[in-house]
Structure formats: structure tokens, C-alpha cells
Amino acid sequence: MNTPSNLKYAKSDEWFDPASGKVGISDYAQNQLSDIVFIEIFVEAGEEIAAGKAIASVESVKASSEIYSPASGKVAAVNKDLSNKPETINTDPFGAAWMIQLEGATAGDVMDAAAYEKHCEERSH
């Protein structure tokens, strides 16, 4: 499992980059979902959102899942390319597959990489 140490993680498997304000889903989440075939991002640039708000829905061959924002702030950008290539989430969840970018973001209830890895391990047993 890839868990970059510069990111913060929500228990619901989203990541937040405090440096760039970008948000996406973790490697663990995309692995659990398997082949992602569809994504719909619900929020638009300029919208103010709160941590815990549903920002997207992803569907895979196995399941569908709501994606929640791990931080509060103003949506500065939405990754429009992702809807044309949802499989990018499976190959590059921390890079090209970011979903939204927040400005003036304040992290919600998030944990560091080590705590998130432990959280994931506990759920796997």
C-alpha cells in the first residue's frame, strides 16, 4: 500500500495535501474498489465546502462509493479530466487522479500516514 507521508488521511479513505490543497482517494480505497469505471464530482469551482461533505461518487466493477472532503475550504479547481479517464484513480491515486483542489483549506478529522496505515491494517483483519 502506497501512503505518501506528506498527505493527511480521513478514516473514510480520502487524502488531503495541505501544501497544494488537493483531495483524492487513497491507494487503499482504490485497491478495495478495484477497477474504477465511473466518477461524478458533485462540487464546482467557487463553492465553499465543509469537511465531511460528499464531493464525488465513484463506481467500480465491484461497488460504488461516496467520496467525502477531508477538509473545509473554497473549491479552487475540479479535475474535469478524471470523468473521461476514471481508471486513472487505479493507476495514479495521488497524482493525476486528484479530484478537487481547495484554497484556504482547513483539515478536518485527519491522520498522518503512519496512523492511516495502522487504521487500514486493523480493518483488514
Q: What is the pTM of this model?
A: 0.95
Positive or negative torsion for Cα 27, 31, 32, 36 = positive
Whether the pLDDT of residue 62 is over 90: the answer is no
Choosing among 2.40.50.100, 3.40.50.1110, 2.102.10.10, 3.40.50.720, the CATH entry for 8-106 is: 2.40.50.100
Question: For 91-112, how does the pLDDT look when each residue is reduced to its tens digit (9 = 90+)?
Answer: 999 999 999 999 999 999 999 9
Question: For 8-29, how does the pLDDT look when each residue is reduced to its tens digit (9 = 90+)?
Answer: 999 999 999 999 999 999 999 9
| Sole residue written with cell 486528484 | 98
Choose among 36, 35, 28: nearest CA to 12: 28
| Residue 10: CA count within 13 A, CB half-sphere | 24
